[in-house]
Structure 1
Amino acid sequence: MKTFNESCLMVRRPSVELISYIKNINLNHPVHRFVLYGRKGAGKTCVMNHVMHACYRDNWIIVHVPWAGRLVRGWKKEITESSYKPGRYDVPADGAAWLAHFLHQNQGKLKDLKTTSEYVWTKREKAEAGTPLEEIINFGMTRIKFSSDCVGVVLKELRQQAQTKGLKVFVAISSVNAFFVEWDHVNTLRNAEKKKIEPEEMTIIHNFKKMLSPTWTHGVVVCTVSEVVNMETQREKYTPLYLLGKEGFEFLDPFVPILVPEYSEKEALSNIDYYIDRNWIQHDYGKTEEGKKEIMFVSNKNPFNIYRVCSSL
């Protein structure tokens, strides 16, 4: 998308299947959860983005975590103790970045939303009940110390108002297994005392897990699982049970698993023809029928591998 400066998505069977499920579910029931799985590079994130775009156009509010792995790794991040809950830790920069992302994705959809409770930040600062939700978001972006707590306020209000006002909330989390699995010792978050911070100790992850729990209505949860956020010793399989581990699987259960396979031959040819049309493939042999077959063979029709192979042609 960055190379061609345009956002094009292939309409694939998993996307159509998931969109049809969402259109026919009863929103008065606890949130339905779907998990997209498949081999690395098969297109799980693109399928999720396609479904997210369809829901956005249908006036859903989007709660999106582009890559959960970012929240649990990075030894250079500033870690602070939560002022709200002892034993929890905040990553102020991540909280502020997510608030900005949420505000950008939902422009024009938040103007009528106001808080239903009072929230006290300090002895001198508080947000009265009836404060516009956008004001809470802007407070968290400017007073970065409170960003993680502001994320919690926004998510809590969305859950409550989804049930009382009938809002439709679409939760999309890429690589959700990052919330449940152990990360390697090199990139694990640590506080000032070099103590290792577990995912369940982080305020922002604690708040996102509440969005995954079937304790609220008028929402849908779509997640992907990915090998890359697991330790290198835990990347042998790509199935949800293996990647989520016992804790993560039991937390999300019951959910609907949806396999995102490699391209079919028709899909692979469509992708290659798109690259030819955009001059991504410039070698004459790559434009022939024999060249296309060779690309599909060496890439095993995996979308990401096709991109890598074609980048050298």
Structure 2
Amino acid sequence: MLRTTSVTLSRKLTRLYKQCLYSTSSSLTSTYDKLEKFRTSETDCSKHSNEHLAQFYEVAQEDKKRVFTYGGLPKTFETQIKTFHETCIMIRQPAIDVINCLKTLDYSKPAVRFVLYGKKGCGKSLSLAHILHFASKENFLIVHVPWVSNWMRRCKEYSNSEKREGYVDLNLDGAAWLVHFKSQNSHLLSTPEAKTSKEYVWSKREVTPKDSPISDIIDHGINRVKYASEAVVALCAEIKELTNRSVFKTLVAIDGFNAFFYPKTRVYTEKKEVVHPHNVTLTEGFLNLSKTDWKNAAIIVTVDEIAIAAEDHISHLPRYLLGKEGFEHLDPFVPISVSEYNEKEFLSCMEYYRDRKWVQGYPGQDEELRFISTSNPYGLMKMCASL
């Protein structure tokens, strides 16, 4: 009897041990499957395709420093980067669509314009960041404005233009943008053919001669802040000329482009009159670059409700946000919709947060958060943020 009991107990323990082994093996397999689903080891943007959709890829620290040191990533996302100690961007359909187009465009034809649009917090800026990273790796000359509304509604200072009657200069903002441009394109600015097409007279004693390196214009605008706005306009004109001559292949990327056409700015004249964006000197250069009268270039802009005053939110569609004048300026363009997370993207994001120990999982968590956040990427980020 005792022997029978001992044999039975031994069999039960053996069965239990095997079950534990199987359970552990299944758990590990499940973990690896999840890791493979929400993260990819492919960091080369040119190789990203539909196979990588809804997966996170890591931006190398040196790439982040070169492309995004002075802007391009939302502040809340920057906070998340510091917390997670890594810069990971989700690969989404809008970015893949634009990247595929940039690979196949005929750059001998007039520049093509893409407009990213969508509801607040759906990821337009991060999709643009993914595209910028691709452009940087592919040696595009990048002309990037991180957020136009910072100039029109939160400018550092403003002063009447000395060269253009009725215009206002944002010289501190202009100098900051020149630093940003220099940081993103330092490896291309030393190109021997990158020289000015004409002479620029800044004052009686300050002149940039014809055939000077275009970096001289940049450095002059940074060192002599008084002329920063004019230096930006001159640089934009020279970029267009050099790109037409095939010295560069250029990508123009402007976030919050509709702010260039929204009349209610917080820029004022000496008489405290509101200045229309078209009378801000910086605007001239970037409206010039967003035309299609040049080649070897592509233009990508976002339109956003947040770029204008809150009380004037009507719709997230380009026609409403750009207004008649802005829409006609960009027409024709390729519209790219950036929508809320689909099911795969939402689950991938939650797995990433759990992997980073940012949220603690519990039964029904995904369903609850998806319902409350309506699958809005920014909304989900805020809900999972610390108190």
Scaled by the length of structure 2, the TM-score of the pair is: 0.76
Counterpart pick for 2:148 among 65, 68, 78? 68
Measure, in 1, the Cα distance between the counterparts of 2:260 and 2:83: 31
Q: Which runs of 5+ in 1 are unaligned?
A: none
Q: Does 1:307 align with 2:381?
A: yes
TM-superposed CA distance for 1:23, in Å, is 1.2
Counterpart pick for 2:252 among 167, 171, 176? 171
Measure, in 2, the Cα distance between the counterparts of 1:205 and 1:5: 36
Q: Does 1:206 align with 2:280?
A: no
Measure, in 2, the Cα distance between the counterparts of 1:246 and 1:3: 43
SS at 2:126's partner residue? helix
- The aligned residue for residue 294 of structure 2 is 216
SS at 1:87's partner residue? coil
TM-superposed CA distance for 1:166, in Å, is 4.1
Q: Out of 248-257 and 17-26, give the one that drifted further.
A: 17-26
SS at 2:315's partner residue? coil
TM-superposed CA distance for 1:223, in Å, is 0.6
TM-superposed CA distance for 1:289, in Å, is 4.6
Higher RCO structure (Cα 8 Å, ≥6 apart)? 1
Measure, in 2, the Cα distance between the counterparts of 1:47 and 1:115: 33
- The aligned residue for residue 150 of structure 1 is 231
Please say if residues 246 and 296 of structure 2, whose CA atoms lie closer than 8 Å, have aligned partners that are also in contact.
no
Q: Does 1:42 align with 2:122?
A: yes
What per-residue deviation string (whole Å, max 9, x for no partner) do you get for residues 206-254 of structure 1?
Answer: 1110011112111111011110122233213111001111111111000
Name the aligned partner's letter for residue 180 of structure 1.
F
SS at 2:142's partner residue? strand
Measure, in 1, the Cα distance between the counterparts of 2:369 and 2:179: 40
Measure, in 1, the Cα distance between the counterparts of 2:363 and 2:143: 43
- The aligned residue for residue 104 of structure 2 is 24
SS at 2:245's partner residue? helix
Q: Out of 248-257 and 78-87, give the one that drifted further.
A: 78-87
Measure, in 1, the Cα distance between the counterparts of 2:274 and 2:353: 45
Measure, in 2, the Cα distance between the counterparts of 1:295 and 1:257: 30
What per-residue deviation string (whole Å, max 9, x for no partner) do you get for residues 132-175 of structure 1?
Answer: 22222111111000001111111111100101134111000001
SS at 2:115's partner residue? strand
Please say if residues 166 and 218 of structure 1, whose CA atoms lie closer than 8 Å, have aligned partners that are also in contact.
no
Please say if residues 42 and 260 of structure 1, whose CA atoms lie closer than 8 Å, have aligned partners that are also in contact.
yes
TM-superposed CA distance for 1:55, in Å, is 1.2
Q: Which runs of 5+ in 2 are unaligned?
A: 1-80
Counterpart pick for 2:167 among 85, 88, 98? 88
Measure, in 2, the Cα distance between the counterparts of 1:154 and 1:6: 34
Please say if residues 208 and 216 of structure 2, whose CA atoms lie closer than 8 Å, have aligned partners that are also in contact.
no
Measure, in 2, the Cα distance between the counterparts of 1:289 and 1:42: 26
Q: Does 1:274 align with 2:352?
A: yes
- The aligned residue for residue 189 of structure 2 is 110
Scaled by the length of structure 1, the TM-score of the pair is: 0.94
Identity across the alignment (%): 39
Name the aligned partner's letter for residue 232 of structure 1.
A
- The aligned residue for residue 293 of structure 1 is 367
What per-residue deviation string (whole Å, max 9, x for no partner) do you get for residues 190-212 of structure 1?
Answer: 12221211100011011110011
SS at 2:83's partner residue? coil
- The aligned residue for residue 206 of structure 2 is 125
What per-residue deviation string (whole Å, max 9, x for no partner) do you get for residues 24-51 of structure 1?
Answer: 1111111100000111110011111111
SS at 1:258's partner residue? strand
TM-superposed CA distance for 1:111, in Å, is 0.8
Please say if residues 182 and 231 of structure 1, whose CA atoms lie closer than 8 Å, have aligned partners that are also in contact.
no
Measure, in 1, the Cα distance between the counterparts of 2:299 and 2:355: 36
Name the aligned partner's letter for residue 310 of structure 1.
C
Name the aligned partner's letter for residue 163 of structure 1.
N
More helix by share: 2
Q: Does 1:256 align with 2:337?
A: no
Name the aligned partner's letter for residue 258 of structure 1.
I
Please say if residues 168 and 280 of structure 2, whose CA atoms lie closer than 8 Å, have aligned partners that are also in contact.
yes
Please say if residues 37 and 258 of structure 1, whose CA atoms lie closer than 8 Å, have aligned partners that are also in contact.
yes
- The aligned residue for residue 178 of structure 2 is 99
Q: Does 1:6 align with 2:91?
A: no
TM-superposed CA distance for 1:109, in Å, is 1.1
TM-superposed CA distance for 1:312, in Å, is 4.5
- The aligned residue for residue 314 of structure 2 is 236
TM-superposed CA distance for 1:12, in Å, is 0.8
Name the aligned partner's letter for residue 103 of structure 2.
K
Name the aligned partner's letter for residue 16 of structure 1.
I
TM-superposed CA distance for 1:130, in Å, is 1.8
SS at 1:129's partner residue? coil
